[in-house]
Amino acid sequence: MSQLFTPYSIGPLKLENRIVIAPMCQYSAEDGHATDWHRIHLGQLALSGAGLLIIEATAVEPIGRISPADLGLWSDSTESALGAVLQSVRKYSSMPIAIQLAHAGRKAGSATPWLPGSGGDWQNAAPSALPFNDTDAPPAALDRAGLQRVLQAFVTAAQRAHRIGIDAIELHAAHGYLLHQFLSPLSNQRTDEYGGSLENRMRFPLQVFDAVRESVPASMPVGIRISATDWVEGGWDLEQSVGLAQALAKRDCAFIHVSSGGLSPQQAITPAPDYQVPLAARIRAESGLPTIAVGLVTEAEQAEAIVARGDADMVGVARVMLYDPHWPWHAAAKLGAQVSAPPQYWRSQPHGVHKLFKAQ
């Protein structure tokens, strides 16, 4: 029996299999509002047969957007727009849907990748007044009022997500964005209780986690995505990530989604298939948290081996899903498993492949 296609539960949330569609920025929102693109994009992914779909990084306040075209969840109107998209998707898919709540901090206001010059014109905020690139304007260091504003923005966005029927929340503390900026000594040079020691640098991300966890029902899992290492000497690293994971394990954290990098232009990474999996395996072994592994996972056999070896409980796939939106179907066919699909598609089952599809 395929291990990748065995059921799994994140707290009370039951997943049909171990395939997770990781968040992928679409740069297609209008003033933070979900559009018809999101209806088409998420609807397509929700028919893929994966166990869980995580909506792209969704900003908790306008100045927290990676780009001006990022999705947001900070107002009644952004809540209504995303809720309408979700309602459409739910008509035809029972796949559990999570959302990644995010704040880009000093990396906010970037241009849409295919639209040079489309960046934001706001003042960025960060733990310290240190820009990401030397050519960037320095961000404003968050004071106590700013910290409270950001924390409350995460809480309010989480409550909005629960109201529109999102099944789980993932806090974005990876890829050089705000919560990751607090964790790394490369971007956090504060001299108050939020900087310096590992305990201090973890303080604000953990406060955000605690506040979000408390603000939504226990039936709604709350997890986190981290960069396990900055890939820079003297930066955030795997040892510190293990410490963070152990602290989260004491806080009813439902899962940890293990990525890496994104904090510094000085990072030295050599991507290769499974290159981040050992990071996830170490964190899983030493924290006991349910773990999602990612990183150039493109083949069914590769994903199967990650779960079968016990390196992770779930496998995140992202870009391969854009290239092949039915990747879970094809993985199930290779591994002799079954996958949920809408009845409108059942006749597409290839000749010689038996009992591939089951009802959603």
DSSP letter for each residue of 14-57: EESSSEEE--------BTTB--HHHHHHHHHHHTS--SEEEEEE
Angle of CA points 180, 252, 25, to nearest 5°: 40
DSSP-derived pairing of the beta strands 8-10 and 13-15? antiparallel
* 76-90 vs 36-46: helix crossing angle, rounded to 10: 40
Instruction: Return the residue matching tokens 């150039």.
Output: 296
- In 3D space, the residue among 4, 18, 1, 15 whose CA is nearest the CA of residue 314 turns out to be 18
Q: Choose, from 8, 27, 92, 177, the residue flagged as catalytic.
A: 177
| Cα(279)–Cα(258) distance, integer angstroms | 7
Task: Name the helix (H) or strand (E) containing 176.
Answer: none
State yes or no: is 177 an active-site residue. Answer: yes
List all residues 6 or more positions away from 134 whose beta carbon is below 8 Å from its beta carbon: none
**What does the block give as tokens for 70?**
């990022």
| Cα(227)–Cα(259) distance, integer angstroms | 5
Type of residue numbered 52: L
**What does the block give as tokens for 3?**
């291990």
| Cα(243)–Cα(114) distance, integer angstroms | 38
3-state secondary structure of 67: coil
| β-strand partners of 45 | none
List all residues 6 or more positions away from 271 whose beta carbon is below 8 Å from its beta carbon: 295, 296
**With left for phi above 0 and alpha for psi between -120 and 50, is residue 32 left, alpha or beta?**
left
Contact 154, 215 (CB under 8 A): no
List all residues 6 or more positions away from 285 whose beta carbon is below 8 Å from its beta carbon: none
Residues known to be catalytic? 177
